[in-house]
Amino acid sequence: MITVFELFRSLTCHSPPTYNYHDCSGNKTTTADYGSDLTTLLDGLSSKASANSFYNDSLNGIFGLFLCRNDVNTSRCQNCVNYATQLLPELCLTTPRAIVWYEECMLRYSNINFFGQMELRPAFLRWNAENSSSPLEPYMGVGALYYDLVKLAPHENNFFLTKERRVPSGNETRFGLAQCSRDINSSSCSACLKGLEARINECCKERKGWRLATPSCHIRYETYKFYNELPTPAAAAPQKEDGGQNEEILLRSDEDHSGDMHHFSLASIQAATDNFSDSNKLGEGGFGPVYKGKLPSGKEIAVKRLSMKSRQGLEEFKNEVKLIIKLQHKNLVRLLGYCLEEDEKILVYEFLSNTSLDAFLFDPETVKVLDWEKRSNIVTGTARGLQYLHEESRLKVIHRDFKASNVLLDDEMNPKISDFGTARIFGGNQIEANTERVVGTYGYMAPEYALEGLFSNKSDVYSFGILMLEILSGKKNRGPYQQDGGQNLAIYAWKLWNEGKGKELIDPNIANDCPIDEAVRWIHIALLCVQDDPALRPTMSTAILMLRSKSVDLPQPSTPPYSATRFVTMSDQSTTIDTGSDLLASDPFSTTISIPR
């Protein structure tokens, strides 16, 4: 019998692709006509590889396709398909169904029409014999990357995604790749990748590397970068609005040469907002009012006009423009441009019709719109946005003012994190910083930040935990929640949960329609996020893993959360504290108070 290696030696025109595995199946009866038709079909597929990374075709009841890895160039794809079309019929001489996997491509054919059918058999599995050295690797490495790939790949171009993630417990990075065959749809791609979970859990979660391939999808995980970077599409040139109006001018930022930004003239902003008419006012934040506007093209925008009286002015403005231009994620609000003219400092954002989360969550009527599905989507969406800021963007960003009013909602109630005026960038391996100028909102501030000026990614995790409790309960984080009037939402939630009464915290508007066990588990996760010791709080990637997978065991939260708010008068507005003295100096929209040291 001819071997794989003998076939490789016989194909000497190009260096061979990397062979992984093949499978032959079906009754071993093929006619001469079948063999002739198969040769014709495979020759046709091979010819298509010069211009396509995927192609399927049929001939006289024989169905075939090839799929190249999306990060493989045209030459390597064509070479791989050429080898496969010659090798596979020789390996499976008398069987009507066959599949072969290479590192660069996959080829299959059958006498049964499989187009559009999601199939998990046959399967090819290979793993590294070494185990991970970290006991947390199954959760922090494999689990986090796997869930990202499964969730996102079905919605990517060509059902292909590569992803890397730094292991939070150290400086190591993990790499993953997922791809689906393009004859199936997005939902089948999702089902295929999810269908691999049990096998991965069984064999591979503690391994340093592995790959699992089926006819319809494959996924791979390694401790080294094994794929090629896809070229980033060039940014499209900005278009002027209809009517030829010069309301947008493309500028290169003098302070940050990493990207283009749009400068809106003050006149165009005034025209769009009817000269900042009160009828167009959407709300008021700590740094100033936000207006709805409309450009001549009809495009709606949100205009953030920084208050001329606010101490938090030009520095935060520059910070927000420089920062957001580098951040691109579906759960972050998109900055369209800015205006810096005369004494005006203005940011222009995409307009989100459902305004902010607090407008729904804390209104007795509109809160009814937030069913369990919408609330869980908001929780996971904001978690992914924070995870991107902390771990996945090219910058390491700490938001520092994450709260319900800074979560905006689009037409489909998808969340987008906004307001980056107080955000800070961490460099290299920096994990913590100290400031004498604390900015944020009481009730959402982590205690080490509010009282000592220490902040890190765990400060945002604390704020996320508070927001989770608000979303699950429908209550604001400020109390009182008992007769003594001395407790905030985190302490109240901890006491209920600790007494086995966690379900009493769940908002009555969703209590009859939500999965109670899951909601109580999410309260547990929120309490882990608001623990007093930052080291005990999970990272956002770990929190997301806990939210997604019921198989992840949750540790017990520590003693009742410490509340920095017990010493202060509560305010919903962003606040600045000088931690170098006993005086708290606040924005004009907040209350001025003193804090005991």
Interatomic CA distance for residues 79 and 76, integer angstroms: 5
Interatomic CA distance for residues 364 and 474, integer angstroms: 9
Work out the number of other CB atoms within 10 angstroms of the CB of residue 362.
16
Q: What is the pLDDT of residue 481?
A: 61
Q: Locate 260 and state its tokens.
A: 């283009």
Q: Which of 215, 275, 204, 158 is nearest to 23 (CA)?
A: 215
Whole-angstrom CA distances from 278 to 282, 283, 289, 306 are: 9, 10, 10, 15
Strand order in the sheet with 124-127: 124-127, 210-213, 217-222, 173-180, 160-166
Which tens digit of pLDDT belongs to each residue from 465-505? 999 999 999 999 876 665 444 468 998 999 999 999 999 99
Q: What is the pLDDT of residue 573?
A: 53
Q: Locate 587 and state its tokens.
A: 């924005």
DSSP conformation class of 232 = P
Burial class (CB in 10 A: 0-12, 13-18, 19+), 142: buried
Contacts of 257 (CB under 8 A, 6+ apart): none
Interatomic CA distance for residues 461 and 569, integer angstroms: 23
228 and 72 in contact (C-beta within 8 Å)?
yes
Q: What is the pLDDT of residue 512?
A: 92
Q: Which of 316, 317, 334 is nearest to 325 (CA)?
A: 334
Note the Cα 20 to chain centre separation in Å. Answer: 32
- State the amino acid at position 4 in one-letter form: V
Whole-angstrom CA distances from 22 to 25, 58, 92, 125 are: 10, 21, 9, 11
**Residues designated as active site:** 401
Extract the runs of DSSP E, i.e. beta strands, from 83-153.
97-102, 105-110, 124-127
Q: What is the pLDDT of residue 528?
A: 96
Interatomic CA distance for residues 529 and 468, integer angstroms: 9
Q: Residue ranges of the alpha helices (H) in 208-364?
A: 266-272, 314-324, 357-361
Q: What is the pLDDT of residue 107?
A: 97
Q: What is the pLDDT of residue 420?
A: 77
Q: What is the pLDDT of residue 439?
A: 66
HSE at residue 549, side-chain half, CA atoms within 13 A, is 26
Please give the model's pTM, rounded to 2 decimal places: 0.57
Q: What is the pLDDT of residue 17?
A: 92
Which residue positions in the chain have pLDDT lower than 70? 1-14, 29-30, 131-142, 168-170, 231-261, 285-287, 307-320, 322-323, 426-440, 479-487, 560, 562-597
Please say whether the dihedral angle defined by the alpha carbons of residues 491, 492, 497 and 503, taken in this order, is positive or negative. negative
404 and 361 in contact (C-beta within 8 Å)?
yes
Q: Which of 481, 488, 485, 528 is nearest to 504 (CA)?
A: 481
Number of H helices, E strands in the chain: 17, 25
Angle between helices 32-48 and 74-91 (to 10 degrees): 170
434 and 453 in contact (C-beta within 8 Å)?
yes
Report the percent of the chain where pLDDT is more than 70. Answer: 76
Q: What is the pLDDT of residue 551?
A: 83
Q: What is the pLDDT of residue 436?
A: 52
Token pair 């009013």 is found at 405
- Domains (range + CATH), the chain: 4-110 (3.30.430.20), 124-222 (3.30.430.20), 247-350 (3.30.200.20), 357-578 (1.10.510.10)
Extract the runs of DSSP E, i.e. beta strands, from 26-90.
54-59, 62-68
- State the amino acid at position 359 in one-letter form: A
Token pair 């882990």 is found at 528
Burial class (CB in 10 A: 0-12, 13-18, 19+), 550: exposed
